[in-house]
Structure 1
């Protein structure tokens, strides 16, 4: 018999290999195939194995659950699910929203006595890059694998994913130090433009993968918020270049 399960917590090919290894070691499991992009595992077994047994075989970072199939007779009982999923999504995005809030607040406080929109935007962009690059630096080995899941350039050029945290750090310092601002703005448009294309494609394909905007330290789902986050930076860069 064959069953398909959702696996949360996988970020790279090493995770995929680990899940396949641990599940394959369970008695009566004959074959395991993991789809990293979909976050699913297809398990062939000689006799039924409960999800509890499968979950216990995996490290704590992975969460296994049965894949829900559509049931036309269960429409009434499923009506409340979108609200629950939305609540769960907001809870997962809480760290990202808090970080953006603090960055915006700090940028406002730096200029509240002598307000300047351009100075506010430059400091916001600088702090944004510095803070986000910090989280990526926490796992320089794991970040490239997560990043290449949706960034088109990182998929084709693995080295780009490795240097991306340092590019963000450099851009952050350029904005905060007011050094070659136009160059930093153009690079921002190129870098975030490429990432936004990948994010948009991921959202349109409705793939369930982890966003690497805050590295691998925090488990953030790829959602519309990731698109909005990049869009804010791109819009600010355009405004600054025009002005």
Structure 2
């Protein structure tokens, strides 16, 4: 079942991320999507959950009221739903795919005349961190809330989510300038392994939340692409430490 609720009290992306996080933690809720501009939240649930229970899960500053109820399991919509969802997912992932493509292309073009896999990987990781930290910097207030929805360390230690964009920037500079490479590689492994654990748990629980890998400026869904993106960086860092 899909229910749409009016929510008052939201003023920024930080509020939006908070509402999504609190509602997503309720049992039997599989997906939460908040529209800040409309002041609405679409909630998919496996069984009916009362409005009172939803309200109790939110801080007092937010007021939730039901707008409409829509049954997504009607026969007229089931046949078209898979293709629509798949198309929507691909469209939403387009910015991420393009960014990784340009980062990889730039890393190749920088050294195509004197090719070296190790140099390529260092530049790829450096550009990856610089570009991804840039998008996080666009909303330093909203990012920590979105990040803490799936990263276990950011959830337990809020300050970690606040400094994470700066950690990425520092790692990017270290890789591009070849400063303390081994330290940067070890930090990369620790940071991304922690995040990947959270991503894996979210995917296994089939929770539909926003991915904060590109901050809150771009609305990216948490999908297997997020796992693959982290896995690529983990493999590169591991190979560089072994080589």
TM-score by length of 1: 0.77
What is aligned with 1:15? 16
- Relative to structure 1, the CA distance from residue 61 to residue 91 in structure 2 (aligned partners, 3 Å threshold; closer, same or farther) is farther
Q: Deviations over 1:44-70 (max 9, x none)?
A: xxxxxxxxxxx9xx7248565855443
Shift of 1:35: 1.4
Q: Which has the larger radius of gyration?
A: 1
The gaps in structure 1 that reach 5 residues or longer are: 20-33, 42-54
Stretches of 4+ aligned residues off by more than 2 angstroms: 3-7, 10-13, 15-19, 36-41, 58-71
What is aligned with 2:112? 112
| Count of equivalent residues | 207
Alpha carbon RMSD of aligned pairs, Å?
2.8
Q: Deviations over 1:134-158 (max 9, x none)?
A: 0001111110010000000000000
- Relative to structure 1, the CA distance from residue 40 to residue 113 in structure 2 (aligned partners, 3 Å threshold; closer, same or farther) is closer
SS in 2 for 1:113: coil
Looking at structure 1, the residues matched to 129 and 39 of structure 2 have their Cα atoms a distance apart, in angstroms, of: 28
- Relative to structure 1, the CA distance from residue 235 to residue 87 in structure 2 (aligned partners, 3 Å threshold; closer, same or farther) is same
Looking at structure 2, the residues matched to 159 and 121 of structure 1 have their Cα atoms a distance apart, in angstroms, of: 30
Shift of 1:81: 2.1
Looking at structure 2, the residues matched to 69 and 59 of structure 1 have their Cα atoms a distance apart, in angstroms, of: 24
Looking at structure 1, the residues matched to 17 and 165 of structure 2 have their Cα atoms a distance apart, in angstroms, of: 24
Shift of 1:179: 0.8
Return the match for 1:70 from 68, 73, 76.
73
What is aligned with 2:175? 175
Contact 2:140 2:162 in 1 (8 A): yes
Looking at structure 1, the residues matched to 186 and 176 of structure 2 have their Cα atoms a distance apart, in angstroms, of: 16
- Relative to structure 1, the CA distance from residue 150 to residue 184 in structure 2 (aligned partners, 3 Å threshold; closer, same or farther) is same
Task: Determine if the alignment matches structure 1 residue 35 to structure 2 residue 37.
Answer: no
Looking at structure 2, the residues matched to 18 and 190 of structure 1 have their Cα atoms a distance apart, in angstroms, of: 29
What is aligned with 2:88? 88
SS in 2 for 1:4: strand
SS in 1 for 2:141: coil
Alignment of 1:1-243 (within 5 A): 4-5=3-4, 14-15=15-16, 35-37=23-25, 38=29, 39-40=31-32, 59-60=37-38, 64=42, 66-71=69-74, 74=75, 78-243=78-243
The gaps in structure 2 that reach 5 residues or longer are: 43-67
Contact 1:175 1:181 in 2 (8 A): yes
- Relative to structure 1, the CA distance from residue 12 to residue 208 in structure 2 (aligned partners, 3 Å threshold; closer, same or farther) is farther
Looking at structure 1, the residues matched to 172 and 164 of structure 2 have their Cα atoms a distance apart, in angstroms, of: 12
Looking at structure 2, the residues matched to 77 and 153 of structure 1 have their Cα atoms a distance apart, in angstroms, of: 40
Looking at structure 1, the residues matched to 206 and 161 of structure 2 have their Cα atoms a distance apart, in angstroms, of: 23
Contact 1:6 1:40 in 2 (8 A): no
Looking at structure 2, the residues matched to 18 and 158 of structure 1 have their Cα atoms a distance apart, in angstroms, of: 17
